[in-house]
Structure 1
Amino acid sequence: MTEDVPLYERDPAAWEAHLAEGNARQPRKRVSADLLIRDRAGRILLVDPSYKPDWDLPGGMAEANEPPHVAAHREVAEELGLDVRAGDLLCIDWVAPHGPWDDLLAFIFDGGELDDQRAAAIRMADGELNAAEFCTEAQARQRLRPYVWTRVAAALDALKTGRPAYLQTFRAEN
């Protein structure tokens, strides 16, 4: 009769071992989390990372088992010395494997608007950034890689509509 009872009920330790084995074999996802931060004029905060050739939104990669919104907050604090909480989710972009990279889930959260005093307090805090600058949409479009601009444009649209965007970037080079 015990065969009719599910494993998780008759042997909780065996069930836990079964789950752990499955978890160890499942793929892991890379996760990035950025904040869309604006100044009082509505310009977008961009950063110039020292470790790559292109400008980007402030944020970065999540650590193991770190929620994306927490990663965005942590990265912005570490890199810019700003305490900006992640607000509403604006965009998720699934980026297909490319080059040496596995796939990625890229989150953009609303970082709100900084008043003039907080905007003036931005500083390069950890050596990962060369610069930070508030840019118009046209300037951002010029500085960002096309696929990053598509993500930012979707996030800007989500600010207006209240509906988060889901994107699928199949080639990061576009």
Structure 2
Amino acid sequence: MGTAPSPDDPEAWNAYLAEGNAKQARKRVAVDVIIRDADGRVLVVNPAYKPDWDLPGGMVESNEAPDDAARRELREELGLDVSLCGLLVVEWVPPHGPWDDQLAFILDGGMISDAQARALRPHDAELIEVAMVNPYRAEQLLRKRLVPRFLAAMQALENKRPCLMRNGQLIG
């Protein structure tokens, strides 16, 4: 077995790195956002393409940063521009059904005004409806796989400390 090329030979070095990159795992990445109002309600959305309610957000596209994907999804689906306030949760989700494993992020979308909350409407065909609900109601509406992640995000907001999860369970 030969030795790895040196960075002193940029062409060989880049070919070596590209070969390693091609062999590494690719992860699906999802990003959701917790958006609240002054009354402590959270924004939930009812997607047209799957059962149960969801948090606003979606899948990260190839070579897109999770925070950029979150802002893009909020603009496309809700016409909403928010300043993201940080990370709440990262969860590794194992393969399930036809899906490979994924990394799922929940980001803090901060607070919206009463006027913004009243103006929320679906802006594309992906959503049927949107609602601001108390966290207990959100827990009832959200799909079961998402509930532990949502609860961890709410805990992270309270503790001002992000959470790491693995398959629905907190780590650490």
Choose which of 93, 103, 114 in structure 2 pairs with 1:116. Answer: 114
* Closer/same/farther in 2, CA of residues 170 and 43 from structure 1, 3 Å limit: closer
> So what's the TM-score if we normalise by structure 2?
0.92
TM-score normalized by structure 1? Answer: 0.91
- Where structure 2 has 5 or more consecutive residues not aligned to the other structure, the ranges are none
Unaligned runs of 5+ in 1: none
Report the RMSD for the aligned CA atoms in angstroms.
Answer: 1.8
Query: Could you report, residue by residue, the CA deviation over 1:57-76 in whole angstroms, capped at 9, with x for unpaired residues?
Result: 00000000111011111101
Three-state SS of the structure 2 residue aligned to 1:14 is helix
Query: How many aligned positions are there?
Result: 168
Tell me whether 1:65 sits opposite 2:63 in the alignment. yes
Percent identity for Structure 1 against Structure 2? 52
Amino acid at match of 1:148: L
Q: Which residue of 1 aligns with 2:150?
A: 152
Residue 8 of structure 1: how far off its partner (Å): 2.2
The residue aligned with 1:87 is 85
The one-letter amino acid of 1:70's match is D
Q: Distance in 1 between matches of 2:86 and 2:168?
A: 25
Say which of 17, 20, 41 aligns to 2:18.
20
Would you say 1:161 and 2:159 are equivalent positions? yes
Distance 1:108 1:65 in 2: 19
| Amino acid paired to 1:40 | A
1:46 is aligned to 2:81: no
Deviations 1:5-41 (A, max 9, x none): x722342210100111111222210001111001111
Question: Comparing both structures, which one devotes a greater share of its residues to helix?
Answer: 1
Compute the displacement of 1:170 (Å): 6.6
4+ residue segments displaced more than 3 Å: none
Conserved 8 A contact 2:38-2:113: yes
